[in-house]
Amino acid sequence: MRSRCYAALLGLLLVVAGLVGVAQPAQAANLLTNPGFEAGSLSGWTCSAGAVVGSPVRTGSYALSGGVTASDTGQCSQTVAVQPGTQYTLSAWVRGSYVYLGVTGGASTWTPSAANYSQLTVAFTTGASQTSAQIYLHGWYGQPAYLADDVSLDGPGGQPPAGVPGVPGAPSVTGTTNSAISLAWGTSTGTVTGYRVYEGATVVKTVTGTSTSIDGLPACTSHSYSVAAYNSNGESAKSAATSGTTTGCTNTGLPKHALIGYLHASFANGSGYIRVADIPAAWNIINLSFGESTTATSGDIRFNRCPAAECPNVESDADFLAAIKAKQAQGKKVLISIGGANGQVQLTSTAARDAFVNSVSAIIDRWGLDGVDIDFEGHSLYLNAGDTDFRNPTTPVIVNLISALKTLKAKYGAKFVLTMAPETFFVQVGYQFYGGAGGGDNRTGSYLPVIHALRDALTVLHVQDYNSGPVMGLDNQYHNMGGADFHIAMTDMIKAGFPVANTGHTFPGLRQDQIAFGLPAAVSAGNGYTAPAAVHQALDCLVKGQSCGGYTLRGGSSPAFRGLMTWSINWDRYYNWEFQNSHAPYLAALP
């Protein structure tokens, strides 16, 4: 977090999804409505801005002119019915600078400059339960209007095989215990022999009715289920997935809605040093920043307290330790935060993994800390080419980090506090681009396998909703930092879950008590400062389902939403405690 990098914005500008080499399907009629805009209108298309024009066109009498502005990419999209597990080819003739063509949540391509009409083509295969696809065209912020003509989606239409039942309604969770999740779903159309309940690609229950209970589950674990109907003619596509969590979670001692802050414990960073004893009681989690690696790949983490030359009022080691114990006696959690913008940690080997576990354990033991915060930024995490299943990662820096954190959790037990502070680039951008799928920045979405593998050990995920470029939300619109809309859309993705681009896999949402979001304490602390009133609007939407503006929560409201994180406690003190004084009372007053 120190010297915050602009990875998210830069990555969004540089990410390019490559063409997927697959066999071409049999030729079919173009599945798009008004593909050449010859209706003389945008009929069939949904556009944030734009119009049809009579010149220049590639063929016919009309073409699309995308309405790009400084704050709008001029996206036009169309949703069509498709068949699951089927190959399709999308193409369009485009003209202009930075023109993009793609499938929402899937493959895409672009051209940086096309002085004349040039064809963009991208092939993709629908997921195992996918029955619709949204295709899109857009330009880029601040660029001239783009042109598009003769858009084509080639492949079979979305009609199911004859006699196969229709897709059942999405399941809903009707009850939970320490070892079971009960489900109910809507009846399928057609002749139905029974229903299969899936967790991922695995059938976990087969029943004849429209409800069941999945038993034998571990306590405090999250699961995602979808349902398919079947008869002698075959099986329907899967329903939308629903997540549920068994009860029996360990009480970590945190309040229902917590205030989380980073403390510059090893440097001053222009905002001044704060002694631990002087941190106000409003802060529930204090992240000591930072533990950093001796070299990028050593895994040997060291926590060096701020030197007196930089922090004249720094307390002694004895006072530092005593203050930590006093905070813990008040019910506060004190963690060591590892990484930051300048602290690259790449666990490329098992030796680095073991060094990480040993050195982090030594820091925890030396200062009597409650756990660890993982703030890996820059190039600490990435995905090797071909590593496309976030559920089963193969890249060493990912695999070794997961193993190290599981070892620490097992060593310190159920009350070990584990938090993470990824940037949007490493989480939500995975909806559009996933590094292991190739063709772009191999860091996109690279936190997803770590979050997923640790989801049952994770205390709080507080994504940094700042220093970010525009990010596409589940409404397939781009959202910009600095307002309530960004926090609502980004947080909803974590609660609802989302398809991971180009992989055919869906990242399941987290429990609501595991979710917070992060923002700068003040204008000097990072780009994306959000005024208190807008933060409160976002909280009202996320917690109560109120004041959501034009956004519809896909994951529903979250009464147990954990709270707010900020960079940093030091910057908040520097600005007369605006963050604490505005938000601690508001969090406390939430239901």
Residues with a known catalytic role: 377
Q: Tell me the C-alpha distance between 590 and 563, whole Å.
A: 10
End-to-end Cα spacing for the chain: 31
What is the chain's length? 591
Which residue from 444, 452, 467 is spatially nearest to 523, judged by alpha carbons?
A: 467
Is-contact 263 332, C-beta < 8 A?
Answer: no
Per-residue CA distances from 361 to 25, 245, 252, 581 (Å): 55, 30, 19, 34
CA angle, 570 then 513 then 177, to 5°: 160
Q: For the chain, what percentages of helix, strand and coil (3-state, to nearest 5) are there?
A: 20, 30, 50
SS3 of 427-445: the string is CHHHHCCCHHHCCCCCCCC
264 half-sphere exposure, CB direction, 13 A CA radius: 26
Q: Tell me the C-alpha distance between 39 and 65, whole Å.
A: 14
Which residue from 169, 161, 163 is spatially nearest to 192, judged by alpha carbons?
A: 163
Q: Tell me the C-alpha distance between 177 and 187, whole Å.
A: 25
Max alpha carbon distance in the chain (Å)? 80
Q: Tell me the C-alpha distance between 49 and 53, whole Å.
A: 13
Which residue from 416, 530, 399, 385 is spatially nearest to 452, judged by alpha carbons?
A: 399
Which residue from 248, 196, 200, 207 is spatially nearest to 223, judged by alpha carbons?
A: 200
Cβ-proximal residues to 557 (8 Å cutoff; 6+ apart), any chain = 541, 542, 543, 544, 545
Per-residue CA distances from 73 to 45, 87, 145, 525 (Å): 15, 28, 9, 28
Is-contact 313 275, C-beta < 8 A?
Answer: yes
Is-contact 52 37, C-beta < 8 A?
Answer: yes
| Collapsed DSSP state (helix, strand, coil) of residue 395 | coil
